[in-house]
A and B are shown apart, each in its own frame.
Chain A
Amino acid sequence: MTEACHSQWQYNFAFLDENTKRMLRRALLKAVAIPGYQVPFGSREMPLPYGWGTGGIQLTASIIGQDDVLKVIDQGADDTTNAVNIRRFFARVTGVSTTSSTAAASLIQSRHRIPETPLQPGQIMVFQVPEPEALRTLEASEVETRKLHAHQEYGLMHVKLYEDIARFGHIATSYDYPVMVNDRYLSSPSPIPKFDNPKLHMSPALMLFGAGREKRLYAIPPHTRVESLAFEDHPFSVQRWEQACALCGSHDSYLDEIITDDAGARMFVCSDTDYCQQQQEGKA
């Protein structure tokens, strides 16, 4: 894999050097072996700032091969700034083919969404995670949160959900909704809407999570139990809309509200652009 890519600057395949990729793959193996456990890794400086997806890019770089087909999503869309730039970056430093089709992709990097089209066995999702520690807002000390994970003391997470209900009457956490992976480790599913949480449960695809600034990665292997936390009398539920998508008419996808003029007119459209397009083509 050491052959030079097509770039005029002669970067190594997928930008990172081979030793770094090996280090990342070792960490990934451990992460897959212990579902939901946060594995530390030596995060490298990337040619874009922290917060723009450096964790996800490093994971993608460490596992991408020449035969892979890459899809990058930002806010569900394939044509937003971050998605376009990361896709172009990998096209340049690896030469692999890219796609916007979920079904055609073997590797999907994402921050905010899991595609509506069901994932298939063999596909890999890579998430860009800003804060891998679900307990962080409640417990500032890393030493303490690691102990809480080690001793499986997760009462604290329910304190947050309790507080939500006490204040808003329902669990108001709508994204980055905490999950229990394989009945053992409490994990942050990255800032996906809780609408996407059920897609993590028993997914046939491998889910990898990378946080560049926090230098942690973790994984949800295929066919792993993923349970969203809740109370017995306030069970987990996902968002629902009264409208259908204004473009494709879908009733069961995650909708974005878009303001269309200064008078406050608005429309609801699918957040997943690829799915929306397929639905439109299917009708036509």
Chain B
Amino acid sequence: MSQPVLSVSGLTKDYGNGQGCFDIDFELYEGEVLCIVGESGSGKSTLLTTLAGRLSADAGSVRFRDRAGSSHELTTLAEAERRRLARSEWGFVTQHARDGLRMNVSAGANVSERLMALGQRHYGQLRETAAQWLEKVEISRERLDDRPTAFSGGMQQRLQIARNLVTQPRLVFMDEPTGGLDVSVQARFLDLLRRLVHDTGIAVIMVTHDLGVARLLAQRTLVMQQGRVVEAGLTDQILDDPQHPYSQLLVSSILQA
């Protein structure tokens, strides 16, 4: 089997008041979706932001293998290098699209921004790439020059996906991307996401409090409670046969379809 994109061992971020995330271990491979589920305050988002290097870790190691095959230790990486990786190898999809988008420039500019940051300077090509990506996320090409403020919540979230995937990152962090969406929009969004992950072979780490999302998308799931991973394994396994009392509670709380 190929090398993992991300391997995490003993990762700890301690806020000092018992909050944070403690002793996290997992590995993530190409084309794999990993869901981190748990209730509010269980340390999911802390874990995600620490992995993405936006918070500094207190202990442990996070190794990332880039496209060229060289390995980076993210907990000690210099900021310049981290920002370079964030531009070229990662994506970050936020819960609220307006945190992840530039609301005062057009959709096309939003999608092109990362390409321009990587040095593309041909307007016609940028525009064509942006239009193709809008279509990939099921937004009509005609909306290219509209601002995200004119988009619905679901469209904004899809635009955010396009903006992140346009540079073909290897690893995408998602923080409750379906949080603000109603159920039907959410279903289409997850469908789209599953297709894009399948087509592009990116690895995704997604934080969610919704086991339904995990069931649809994720090969593997971590269940977190009070900053610790209480159960980890294949999503189907956790859903069918939860071992930890907390996982059992979560699973039993899903409405049976």
Contacts and interface: CB of A to CB of B under 8 A. Distances in A.
Interface of A: 138, 147, 150-151, 153-156, 158-160, 162-163, 165-167, 230-234
Nearest to A165: B123
Given A147-B83, A154-B117, 20 more contacts: A147-B79, A151-B79, A155-B114, A155-B115, A155-B116, A162-B109, A163-B105, A163-B106, A163-B109, A165-B123, A166-B106, A166-B108, A166-B127, A166-B145, A167-B106, A230-B121, A231-B126, A232-B121, A233-B123, A233-B124
B1 interface: no
Contacts of A167: 106, 145
B121 A231 contact: yes
In the A-B complex, the 9 residue pairs with the closest CB atoms? A155-B117, A231-B123, A155-B116, A158-B116, A232-B122, A162-B109, A163-B105, A159-B109, A232-B121
A159 B123 contact: no
B109 A153 contact: no
A165 B105 CA distance: 12
A151 B108 contact: no
Interface string B96-137: 000000100110110011111110011110110000000000
A156 B123 CA distance: 14
Interface of B: 79-80, 83-84, 87, 102, 105-106, 108-109, 112-118, 121-124, 126-127, 144-145
A160 B106 CA distance: 10
27 contacts: A147-B79, A147-B83, A151-B79, A151-B80, A151-B84, A154-B117, A155-B114, A155-B117, A158-B116, A159-B102, A159-B112, A159-B116, A162-B105, A162-B109, A162-B112, A162-B116, A162-B123, A163-B105, A163-B106, A163-B109, A166-B109, A166-B145, A230-B121, A231-B122, A231-B126, A232-B121, A233-B123
Contacts of A166: 106, 108-109, 127, 144-145
Contacts of A159: 102, 105, 109, 112-113, 116
B15 to A, nearest CB: 22
B117 A153 contact: yes
B201 to A, nearest CB: 25
B176 to A, nearest CB: 24
